[in-house]
Structures are given as structure tokens and as C-alpha cells.
Chain A
Amino acid sequence: MNTTVMDHNMSSERRPGEERKFIGDRGDYFLNRIQGETNGNVSACYQCERCTNACPVSHFMDIKPHQVIRYVQLGWREDLLRSSTIWVCLSCEMCTTYCPNEVRVAEIINHLRNIAAHSSIAPKEKQLAVFHRTFLEVLSKSGRVNEFRLMKAFYSKPHILSEKIKSGNLKEELLLGLALLKKGRLKPFSTRSKLTKDIRKAYIQSRGEIV
């Protein structure tokens, strides 16, 4: 039995949605915001759960895809930003594709991930979040992403190594890295894009800085 699944289902801490929450006017506010920013048809959801049934990783999520849509309707913003769901989601687009009401589930989850990345809430799936961030950093340094450099940068991030040790995965990961090197798949040297400073500038601007 997968322990992660057990943890999500049986942990003693409060499960999202368990306590009574009053909506007030924030429900509308958050719903309108997400609807406006994603054009996601949020109000059309009738909770048929088809999205969740189509999702290949819903059993690794604490808030299931159909629940995400309901939470957005209710304005339960913090629960969503604190969820594992927004990081575990693979953007595989099964949910959006099979929703009978054209609710853009994947786009909404992705947008929540964007909001979480710019919030003060610590990501529940730290490694997944840090991986994305590292990818963008390597990208903005060299314009292209070389896998060797990416993995080196990822493992140099605080806590990644210790989390791998804690989860007992470190040996497996190292062996995989070695095997990839031996096969010539990881290349320590790589090409760069020439005008990387254009990209760096766009990246800085996209974070709201003036350059």
C-alpha cells in the first residue's frame, strides 16, 4: 500500500473542507476573479466528477479536481493554495477535455499554481515546486535547459538533498543519474542561446520589476 495515499486519507489533522466555513462575500469575489482570469466556466460545474475520474493522479491529490472547482465557487482560497493537488497535477488536460460543461479544470488548477507560486503559502509539494522554479532559473541563465545543469541546480537547492535522503530515494536517483551519464543522455556541456539577456529581461519584467 502506498503510504502517501494513506497519509492523505487518514491523517489526524483537519482535512480540507471539514470545518464549517462561512462564505460571506469572499465566495463571489474569488469565483469572479478566477473566472475572469481563466475564462474557465467555473459556474457551469455540476459536480459530476468526470474530471476526477479521468485524472491519472487524483488518488495522489488531497483535493480532487471536481472539488477544486467547488472550492473555487465557495472562495476557499487558502485550502486550494495549501493543497498538494495544485503541484501534483500534471497538466495532462484529461479533466478539461472530458468535462461535459467545458469547465477548464486544468487551466484553473494551473492558475491556482501560479497564484500559489506568488503567495506566502509554502507549497505542500516542495520538491515539485522547487523543480519548476529551478527550471526557470536555468532557462533564464542560458536560454536553453540542459538536463545535466538542471539536475545539478535542482540538487543544490536547500533541502532537496535532505528530503531525498529522508524519503529513502537518494540512492535510486543517483543510480539513475549515473546510468543516464553512461548512456550519453546527460551532457555536462551544452549550447546556449546567444541573446540570453533578452530572456532574462523578460523574466524579470514578468515578475513585476522595472528594467
Chain B
Amino acid sequence: MKLSFYPGCSLEGMAADYARSIDAVFKALDIDLVEIDDWSCCGATAAHSLSEAMSVILPARNLSAAEQMGLDIVAPCANCFNRLRFSQQMIQKKVLDIPWPVTGDLKIHDMTRFLAQPAMIKQIKKRVLKPLNGLKLVCYYGCQMVRPPRITGYTDYENPQTLDRIADAVGARVIDWSYKATCCGASIGIGRREIGNSLTKRLLDKARQAGAEAVVVSCPLCQSNLDMIQKDGLEQPVPVFYFTELIRLCFSERRDPKWFKMHFADPVPLLSKINAI
């Protein structure tokens, strides 16, 4: 199977570890991810905040390149996924002139939903060497992957299940909680730290109260917000995993603590406690 891959800017910087785990997981699953030729930024929140036209045009450049490759797209970042889908819908409505040839006909998958399809779950389960038994976690989806449903296509946007199914497939104990799709504050912390912190702190508190020892996410911004706030290690650490890091762990014979060196809340003690590393 072959798909075009839209990494997004974070995967070259803040979320380089996410990129590495995705690479390992898709190799193991025999799925060829072909990076979109000369991809460019989707515009994220800034584009739609200041220029609605740019929020359609910027993702369109990547849709156009993927169409030339003729491959459906998979996006690991929730915000990129959301912006690509939004642009696709606006292209189909033909309300703006796009400087690149583009029809908006390709499928755009968010990576969690792609890997949570029943056939994929089967493939994942088949390759699990050592399940992550005993790992108690909550799945956190954030906003952009699920809302607004008319763009994301999620029907279970109040209680999404894709990460839950994947975490379950790798043997973790998934705990239900009510904050799956509550906002983490996105980039607001850069301008108004106290607003950002109030949102992330609450999420971590609720995760702890639910009895989770870790959080699993798919969005680079969610990961860094939930992880960064733990940099001083003042409270019980709650490691924040990318879901592909968990899959990679149980696919691998030799597991390297270095995979987690970019994390602030160090997952290694927790993983060794359950004999996963």
C-alpha cells in the first residue's frame, strides 16, 4: 500500500520523535509513506485567524502536489489534517481562485483513524511482540482532529475511539475519562502563558484523577503543551506518548530508552516498571 504523507512543520522540529516513530511503524506495517513533493506549511491557526483566503490557498498547494502523485493523503498532525480537509471543502465549493491546479478529490486521512480501521488493527495486533500490559493510560484527542464534525467527518466527536482502539490493540489499559476532546490551549501560551497553563494543568489533573499513569496523543501541539508544563517535575510525572511511540515499542525486539529523550516527563521509569523497556 502506498500513501502520500504530509508531515507538517512540527515533525521537523518539536515533534521529531513523532516522525521517527511513524517511520518505524509504517515500515513494520509494510505501508509506503511518500512525502508530498516540496510540501509547505498548512497555515495552521495563524492563516485562518488573519486571512481566510490563505487558509484555503496554503493547504491547496499540498493537495495539488499530492494529486499529481495520485496518492491519498495521511496527516499525523491534527491541525494539518483539519486545515487540509477545510481547504478541500472550500476548493470543492469553488469560492476562491487557487493558483495551483487542484480538484480536491483525494481522500485525506487523519493518521489515527487510518490505523484504527479494523483491517489495520488486525495488522497491528499481528505484529505485537510484547504487549504493553499494565500501562494505564487515557487517550487525548484535543480539538482539531474531531471538531467541527462537518470538516473532520468524525461522528463520535464527543467520545472518539480511534486512539482508544489502537492503545487497546497494543495491550494498554485504556481508562475512560471526560476530557478527551477538551482544548489544550494550542499556541495561546506563547502570548498568554496563564491561559495556556490553566487549560493544560486541568487536563493533567483530570488524567491523574482518572487513575492514568500516562496520556496518549496524536497531535504535536497537544503533546508539547501537556509535556512542557511538566518540565520542572514538581508533580507526579504523567508521560505524554505519541500513539505511534506505543506501537513502535511493542513492535520492537530491542527497545531503546533514547527514543524518549525529547520528552520532559520521562516515560522510561514507567516503562521499566511494567517491564516494557
A 131-150 binary contact with B (CB < 8 Å = 1; else 0): 11101100100011111100
Residues from chain A with Cβ under 8 Å of B38 in the complex: 193-195
In the complex, the answer to whether B61 meets A198 with C-beta atoms within 8 Å is: yes
CA of A206 to CA of B99 in the docked complex: distance in angstroms? 11
B 184-218 binary contact with A (CB < 8 Å = 1; else 0): 01111011111100110000000000000000000
Residues from chain A with Cβ under 8 Å of B195 in the complex: 57, 60, 88
With contacts A90-B186, A183-B261, A191-B12 known, is A127 near B50, CB below 8 A?
no
Q: Is A161 an interface residue (CB 8 A)?
A: no
With contacts A113-B50, A143-B41, A147-B13 known, is A97 near B149, CB below 8 A?
yes
- List the one stretch of A43-51, A72-80, A168-176 in contact with chain B: A168-176
Within 8 A of B (CB), among A165-211: 169, 172-173, 176, 179-180, 183-187, 190-191, 193-196, 198-199, 201-203, 205-207
In the complex, the answer to whether B13 meets A187 with C-beta atoms within 8 Å is: yes
In the complex, the answer to whether A92 meets B57 with C-beta atoms within 8 Å is: no
With contacts A144-B9, A206-B53, A206-B54 known, is A92 near B61, CB below 8 A?
no
Residues from chain A with Cβ under 8 Å of B43 in the complex: 136, 139
Q: How many residues of A contact B (CB 8 A)?
A: 62
Residues from chain B with Cβ under 8 Å of A176 in the complex: 228, 231
Residues from chain B with Cβ under 8 Å of A148 in the complex: 13
In the complex, the answer to whether A199 meets B16 with C-beta atoms within 8 Å is: no
In the complex, the answer to whether A136 meets B193 with C-beta atoms within 8 Å is: no
With contacts A128-B188, A136-B47 known, is A183 near B149, CB below 8 A?
no
Interface of A is mostly: helix
Question: Which bucket holds chain B's interface residue count?
Answer: 35 or more
In the complex, the answer to whether A146 meets B13 with C-beta atoms within 8 Å is: yes
Q: Is A11 an interface residue (CB 8 A)?
A: no
Chain B nearest CB, measured from A97 CB (Å): 5
Chain B nearest CB, measured from A59 CB (Å): 9
A 87-117 binary contact with B (CB < 8 Å = 1; else 0): 0101111101100000000100011011001
Partner of A90, one of B46, B183, B264: B183
Residues from chain A with Cβ under 8 Å of B262 in the complex: 183-185
In the complex, the answer to whether A169 meets B183 with C-beta atoms within 8 Å is: no
Chain A residues with CB under 8 Å of chain B are: 2, 4, 56-57, 60, 88, 90-94, 96-97, 106, 110-111, 113-114, 117, 125, 127-128, 130-133, 135-136, 139, 143-148, 151, 154, 169, 172-173, 176, 179-180, 183-187, 190-191, 193-196, 198-199, 201-203, 205-207
